Structure 1
């Protein structure tokens, strides 16, 4: 075997340790996707790697790679995680965007000497501990994210998501509308100043893209570092009660665990099942990169 699986409890990340001086090129697409299917969250440790090898692994295991237009781009697929130093709430990557990536990837080039952990929370574990009324609410009702998108950001996003576009000057509102056409929960309204008003109605409880597992997997608690914070309601615009927000915070925090990074660790998350966030950044010398991708 080229790697060893370390023991794990339900809801914990599966650590995959290299058995020899192997690079990431030893990992096949099938290796990665089978591990994601089985565990939801996977950490590859002890592999000889660098940013280019990480980028190549993302490409090998994916059918399409996308980018967050608000982040710095460092290789074909990888972007720097640079959203300030404050703690970041649990979320699915691009969980309130028109297209939800299937996989969220991370590469730790240089680990923090203290604190600054990435957090993760398996929505499959959370679901069992929601109280019956809350579970029923989110099972039978959808949630809505509403926000304004500046012209520069929605055009950059559209450039990455719509096939056939090569330059941002080619992007029009009609191209953005193509994304809404493939997602019945998404609507866009173009305002006079080029800003787009976006409403996205999606489930808070969803089935994993890779397995039959259902989980409380969403961006209700997520950040808006580079974007206007969304207004979050139920899909019918009804306000979510403060008691519900408090319950969600308590249950998810009980299931939230830390990734204590080591240099050259690689993590891949099922972005349709496992939420992630981070603790406060104490060591600003850490270097962490991420990538987003889709699997057909």
Structure 2
């Protein structure tokens, strides 16, 4: 579960966006569903030594290896102790209750912000027409949350895709926490 808390609203814009992964799956064309059933996504990131030490709050390679293993991430350590991290995941997963399929992943924001790190598991490119289809679906079914100070939003991180609209001021202050629910679905 993800918890959002609005400590301060932005002066304008900065809405949080949410999109139901179950509904998203139903909107995807049959050919794209077939492609996603055949191919998993692969996120590949190179990180310099000082950057990974700061990010993972350790300078111990054994600790880093344990972190990667616990997160199903493949780690390659280079001679100068820079690292290469590869994370492979499906684009479509069974829901938490197993009764339906859900489109849930970071494909769209990654393609927008850092497209070089994302390909299919076999290193083939994700076709632009597929990315366009997904963007059209996302825009069609996304809901925007306009924050009021003190608002709380809780979402199921295994079903709901989320993001935010851009903003220019430094007033927006939204706290986000990830937790495991203490109840069953």
- Aligning the two structures, in what range does the TM-score lie when normalised by the shorter sequence? 0.7 to 0.9
TM-fit CA distance, 1:229: 6.0
Question: CA-to-partner distance for each residue in 1:88-125, whole Å, 9 max, x for gaps?
Answer: xxxxxxxxxxxxxxx22211012234322111111111
Q: Matched residues in 1 for 2:64 and 2:180: separation?
A: 19
Q: Following the alignment from structure 1 to structure 2, what is the Cα–Cα distance between the partners of residues 107 and 260?
A: 12
| Deviation digits for residues 152-177 of structure 1 (CA, Å, limit 9, x no counterpart) | 44335545xxxxxxxx3xx4222222
Change (3 A) 1:212 1:178: farther
Of 204-213 and 254-263, more deviation after overlay is shown by: 204-213
Q: Give the alignment partner of residue 24 of structure 2, picking from 118, 126, 130.
A: 126
Structure 2: how far apart are the matches of 1:157 and 1:214?
A: 33
* Higher RCO (Cα < 8 Å, 6 or more apart): 2
RMSD between aligned residues: 2.5
Q: Judging changes above 3 Å, is the alpha-carbon distance between structure 1 residues 230 and 295 closer, same or farther for their aligned structure 2 residues?
A: farther
Counting only pairs closer than 5 Å after superposition, residues 10-89 of structure 1 correspond to structure 2 as none
Match of 1:237 in 2: 123
Conserved? CA contact 1:158–1:175, under 8 Å: no
How far residue 128 of structure 1 moved from its aligned partner, in angstroms, is 0.5
Normalised to the residue count of structure 1, the TM-score between the two structures is: 0.55
Say whether the 8 Å CA contact 2:110–2:118 is kept in structure 1: no
Report the TM-score, using the length of structure 2 for normalisation.
Answer: 0.84
Distance in 2 separating the partners of 1:260 and 1:132: 34
Distance in 2 (CA, whole Å) between partners of 1:177 and 1:204 is 25
Alignment of 1:1-296 (within 5 A): 103-159=1-57, 168=58, 171-182=59-70, 184=72, 186-209=73-96, 212-223=99-110, 231-295=117-181
Instruction: Indicate conservation of the 8 Å contact 1:146/1:200, yes or no.
Output: yes
Cα 1:223/1:181, change in 2 over 3 Å: closer
Q: Is the 8 A contact 1:147 1:229 kept in 2?
A: no
Q: Which runs of 5+ in 2 are unaligned?
A: none
CA 1:152–1:289 in 2, change beyond 3 Å: closer, same or farther? farther
Describe the shift of the 1:253–1:106 C-alpha distance in structure 2 as closer, same or farther (beyond 3 A): same
Unaligned 5+ runs, structure 1:
1-102, 160-167
Question: Given the superposition, is the C-alpha separation of residues 241 and 155 from structure 1 closer, same or farther in structure 2, using an over 3 Å criterion?
Answer: same
Query: Could you say what secondary structure the match of 1:112 adopts?
Result: coil
How many residues are treated as equivalent by the alignment?
A: 181
In structure 1, C-alpha distance between the alignment counterparts of 2:52 and 2:103, rounded to whole Å: 28
